[in-house]
Structure 1
Amino acid sequence: MNSAPDESLPPPMPDPVDAPQPQQPAASLSHQHETLLAQLARDFLRERRLERRWRTVFRLFWLLLAALLLYAMWQQGRHVTQTSTPHTALVEVRGEIAADTEASAELLLAALKDAFKDDGAQAVVLRINSPGGSPVQAGIVYDEIKRLKKLYDKPVYAVVEEMCASGAYYIAAAADEIYVDKASIVGSIGVLMDGFGFTGLMDKVGIERRLLTAGENKGMLDPFSPLHPKQRAYAQAMLDQIHEQFIAVVREGRGKRLQETPETFSGLFWNGEQAVHMGLADHYGNLDYVAREVVKAEDVIDYTPRDNVAERLAKRFGAAVGAGAVKAMKEMAPIR
């Protein structure tokens, strides 16, 4: 049987999915798009401004750094100013005495000239802590000290800390007096030339040395070639001559104070106490003692040149790597 629908019941509710969605006006959508585009434009401009600001900051930083480096380079060798106040002028001789070190003749001569020229400097003190090095560099410094002493009529004192050996003692011999600690190492008045010979090893492993020269002695002291007796005698004669130059400097500098023995110029070294007894040194004392009791000018001004900022940065970033390699090649058999 068919029954008629109950008209008393409410009509069924429409499905929300099927229900028509309200449509946003086109003007509202256009406004939202414009707002979004405006926000993106503002963000883009803000980032561009920040980028420009940081770029300006970095440019100013590098400009300031370049200015500092130029100023540091300009200031090299100008670490002290002339002063009329009485003082003791200090020049440090530290480390190896060689052309490219802090104890090179170039740097030491600049410091010595400044120290002697200063009217307030009552005396010049060389504070030495060095194992020696190049006899050429040491000889240049020695000769300049003698010249400046005569020109300015100022006393020079050498104060030895841990070590004053070989080329360092060559320089100290120019001083009027040498002060040491009882345990300082002093002496080593000799000359050496060292190297290696690999000919035996090359024979064992079957390596052939092919060396072409124009001049029979051009390959002299080549570590991969045999050392001929004639070349050995020539090198020894050269070392003996340099040794005699060293001995003459010590005798001139120390005079009658030197108590020579057969071992004085043999290359041996002694402690400070023995050096005083042998006449290689004069007294015990440090820098403060010499400035206070000997020079009578307790105020000490350091004239020693130091590595500037530009040099340290150059070395740190590898500018000295190539120079080091060239130096190693040139110093296959250094004399010191």
Structure 2
Amino acid sequence: MAARPGRELNEPVGLAHCRQWSESVNDNPNWERDLVEKLAMAALVEQRRARRWRIFFRLVWLVFFLMLIASLWGGKRAAERLEGSGYTALINLNGEISTENDTAEMMIEALKDAYDDTGTKGIVIRANSPGGSPVLSGIVYDEMRRLKKLHPSVPVYVVVEEMCASGCYYIASAADRIYVDKASIVGSIGVLSDGFGLTGLMEKMGVERRLQTSGANKGMGDPFSPRNPRHEAIRQEMLDAIHAQFIQAVKNGRGNRLKDDPELFSGRVWIGEKSLPLGLADGYGSVESVARDVIKSSAIVDVTPSPALPDRFVRQFGVSFANGVQSFFKTRWY
């Protein structure tokens, strides 16, 4: 086998590299300077990279710190505003009434803050909600009625903008008056429980459901099992009981303003214009007009609490985790 040029036969590879480096050094009399320049350039590049990462992480912490300060400052400013005098306290009821949104806790907190401030001349709840949990709606309803008895001189009004349906109307019926727009959606005094069944699909795919329970009704509502008349009767009984609670709450809140209409508690909705003759609402109005013309205090202060940044993060993480592991069957009562 022929040896490579410049290398003796059977010469070790390491020695060959050393000899080649020695020859290149001899050919370049400025090799020390070149080596120092290359090392300095490599160190400079590494320093720049490390500096970029330091700047990045410092910016991340700065943004987090500013958001935390803004959250705390916002809560402080809301509390300071309650020390004023002669204003209309505004509470926003937005979105689904659920534990994820902390609806009941935030509504009750806002009501207490508004009532505790001597400057509050009246309270307006701005409603934009399709409803939600009957339990949370009932909690807010009961607390509103309790606080109204303790503070009879401070009226509470609900102003419906887009929608006040189902659980939202449950809460609204505790107010002194309800104001709507001609096109607002009002009503839906009913309860529902939804789900679906996969037994037909499973049969086509050759999948067998093997469910074992301890208790005859433990597997009620399982979407992978055939419909059970006994379970459906139990569920309907529960829905009817909750519906009766809903109806009684509306009657207690609205009193003789409600008209005798067979459709009133059927679960249907009406636009604001049609809700007035039925006694579901008391008149037309916006937040501004009610504050100005009814409460006689056009200064409006939003007392709706905002969750702190850590709470929002923890809640969002919990909701995301729950959504990822929840079963296919989900029951909602409105």
Give the TM interval when normalised to the shorter protein.
0.7 to 0.9
**Are the counterparts in 2 of residues 161 and 181 from structure 1 also a CA contact under 8 Å?**
yes
Indicate how the Cα distance of structure 1 residues 77 and 329 shifts in structure 2: closer, same or farther if over 3 A, else same: farther
Match of 1:10 in 2: none
User: Aligned residue for 1:116?
Assistant: 115
Structure with the bigger percentage of helix: 2
Give a deviation string over 1:204-251, Cα, whole Å, max 9, x none. 444322110011110011112223222222211111111111111111
Separation in structure 1 between the aligned mates of residue 115 and residue 195 of structure 2, nearest angstrom: 40
Q: Residue deviations 1:37-64, cap 9 Å, x none?
A: 6655654565565456445433432332
Give the corresponding residue for 1:136: 135
Deviation at 1:67, TM superposition (A): 2.4
SS at match of 1:144: helix
Matched residues in 1 for 2:90 and 2:70: separation? 22
Q: Distance in 2 between matches of 1:306 and 1:269?
A: 31
* Structure 1 gap ranges (5+): 1-28
Counterpart CA distance in 2 for 1:298 and 1:152 is 21
Q: Describe the superposition over 1:226-282 as per-residue Cα deviations: whole angstroms up to 9, x where unpaired.
A: 232222222111111111111111111111111122221111211112211111100
TM superposition score normalised by structure 2: 0.80
Partner AA of 2:62 in structure 1: L
Partner of 1:232: 232
Query: Do the aligned residues in 2 keep the contact of 1:117 with 1:152 (CA within 8 Å)?
Result: no
Q: Which residue of 2 aligns with 1:332?
A: 330
Identity over aligned pairs, percent: 48
Measured in 1, the distance between the counterparts of 2:38 and 2:117 equals 69
Deviations 1:179-212 (A, max 9, x none): 0111111111111111112334434444322110
SS of equivalent residue, structure 1 residue 161: strand
- CA deviation string 1:152-190 (max 9, x = no partner): 332100000121111010010011000011111111111
TM-score by length of 1: 0.80
**Aligned equivalent of 2:301:** 301
| CA 66–181 in structure 1, closer or farther in 2 if over 3 Å, else same | closer
Give structure 2 stretches of 5+ with no counterpart: 1-27
Distance 2:104 2:315 in 1: 20
Change (3 A) 1:174 1:38: same
- Alpha-carbon contact 2:196-2:329 (below 8 Å) kept: no
Q: How does 1:212-223 map to 2 (within 5 A)?
A: 212-223=212-223
The residue identity in structure 1 corresponding to 2:227 is L
> Tell me, what secondary structure is at the counterpart of 1:80?
helix
Query: What residue is the counterpart of 2:98 in the other structure?
Result: 98
Partner of 1:323: 322
**What's the counterpart of residue 21 of structure 1?**
none
- Report the equivalent of 1:89: 89
Superimposed CA distance per residue, residues 277-305 of structure 1 (whole angstroms, 9 cap, x where no aligned partner): 11110011111110110111111111223
Instruction: Kindly report the root-mean-square deviation, in angstroms, between the aligned alpha carbons of the 2 structures.
Output: 3.0
Report the residue type matching 2:323 in the other structure: G
Note the C-alpha offset of 1:106.
Answer: 1.9
Instruction: Judge conservation of contact 1:156–1:177 (CA < 8 Å) in 2.
Output: yes
Alignment match, 2:22: none
**Native 8 Å contact 1:79 1:303 kept in 2:** no
Query: 1:41/1:293 Cα in 2 relative to 1: closer, same or farther (>3 Å)?
Result: same
